[in-house]
Structure 1
Amino acid sequence: MLKEIIEPLLDWYDANARVLPWREEPSPYRVWVSEIMLQQTRVEAVKPFFDRFLESLPGVKELAECPQDRLLKLWEGLGYYNRVRNMQNAARVVMEKYDGRMPENYEALLELPGIGRYTAGAISSIAFGIPVPAVDGNVLRVMSRLTMDEDDILKQSVKSRWEREIGGMMPQDRPGAFNQALMELGAVVCVPNGTAKCGQCPLEAFCMAREAGRIRDFPKKAPKKQRKIEKRTVLILLAGNRTAICKRPENGLLAGLYEPLNLKEHLSREQILNYLKERHISALHIQEAEESKHIFSHKEWHMAGYIVKVEEPLGRETDDIIFVEREERKKNYPIPSAFRAYMKYM
């Protein structure tokens, strides 16, 4: 049955594929950048980031040589900043080992930092025409509904099985189009949470879950572990037309990015004022800002915000805090979207 889906799937894709900037010129570098950006992010949201990134860093050499703060600033708003760090590490390997050209080999791509089986499959098939699968969540959802597969798609063994199955049925002449067609079908038609547009699906006649009236039952996933909740207090320190920011540690969550003062637990006004006093920062006025929540993959920050007008300190005790003007911050300092609710005060 699976081999029978190839022709109607490719016909549908040829007629309905979305026009996307990375598809217009599917060079290895452009495919690579787009696939990393598209992880955990919607296509429409990625488009402006992709254009901005490619304008500033049009190739592997520019990516390899980009200063880290500028690199993180270009990635600002996409989240998962380790991904772009890994991209730069991979770009440096490509410069040193492959003279700046992405290797035309699936196994060699897998050896680059941050490139897993899915991304290697996408680059290999789309940019180089190599018939290897690129199996992401969209593809797993399509295949599990087509076959009423009862196995948990979050298990690596299940993903590996589908990689073997799809790898064995790929058309040798159009592997990139086939991979993109499966991904596209899952992204725009065979969508999650029971809202699949089965009437628009070119594979409706083959779909076992559709025939059984069980679309909502697939794909199977084990329940996720509950995220840890952390209470934080965010302080927006304003000194004239400048705002205080700090650089996070080079390792760990949001490594190397900048943030407003971000303290553990929900602090009272008195505790905040005592903290500032200990840092030799003189507070002139303090008022509450809204509460905010940011969800990471493994934890949640529940934030209480305060706007504090201060005298700008000059002592050594505040060396880790810098005060910058708005335009300078927007241009040079990458601040994660976790603090989006407080950016308007900055």
Structure 2
Amino acid sequence: MTRARKSLIDLAATSYYHLIARCVRRAFLCGDDKYTGQNFDHRRDWLVKRIKLLSSVFAIDIAAYAIMSNHYHLVVKVNRREALAWSDDEVIARWQKLYSGHVVVNRLNKGKQLDRVTLSQRDGIIAQWRARLYDISWYMKSLNEYIARKANKEDNCTGKYWEGRYKSQALLDQQSVLSCMAYVDLNPIRAKAANSIEESDFTSIQERITHFKAAQNEESQATYVTKNKSENLPLQPIQLMTLYEHELAHTIPFALLDYLQLVDWSGRQLNRSKKGHLSKAAPSILSRLNIEEAQWLESIQRFRHLYSNFAGTQQCLKHHAAKNDVKWYKGAG
């Protein structure tokens, strides 16, 4: 049974979500379309650029992404507390980067005096904008509508471009965040579109590797910066959430090198033709997080199907189900 979106996005339970959207036509979002002979790789750039623009406007950070031939995956973190701390002027400035303003707000910005009723109306409008700027549905609407319009214009057609509404999974604990990020980053390898994480085009893991390698070159250090210079973190893509072993604001609590090693090892297990895949022992991060190797490998291959709208350990799923007066969540039994 389809659940109401408001019952699937529960910021009191978690701020991390796995989001998926798929093309309705099963024609190609990007890549080579064997039916038409056309190549749509440039649409990957559309998506990546739009995702990053939206994350600079919304209080929603990107932890992982993968742009595939007719669908895409995102792992995001919603920063509701950050949005609530914005000044009214910042809310207005962010909103107007994407949408036209409102006549009442514009009048006040032009220095016109407003009566008490109109001021109250203005406050209500800004409150609505603020709420939308940390709303996943508004984020996905701003992403999917933009891509659909551009693709339809390019295809010289009209109509729906995406399959119904987007799919979402709430990631209820650190283990589910880690395994979902790896699941997303390994999409090209599972689909046999790449042989290694370095070759996995239009994924966050490839972007992290590229920036990490650039950080080794002293000449590149002026170009590649982090969000947390004071913490002496490894240089990482500024438009992705920083991986750091200690919990800090706007960071994912896993060390960058641990994560790269884990995803590389996992990719070798999925691609057994890759030289050296059997010679490497499972990374130590699995034992530190008390995750069994077999359990991990199953999760990175079948994450989307192991769980439904909520993902986490059995204990976490049972607790969340009881909290929401639900008997059972997929993955708990």
Structure ranking higher in strand proportion: 1
- Shorter-chain TM range is under 0.3
Greater relative contact order structure (CA < 8 Å, 6+ sep): 2
If the length of structure 1 is used for normalisation, what is the TM-score? Answer: 0.19
State which structure, 1 or 2, has the greater radius of gyration over its C-alpha atoms: 1
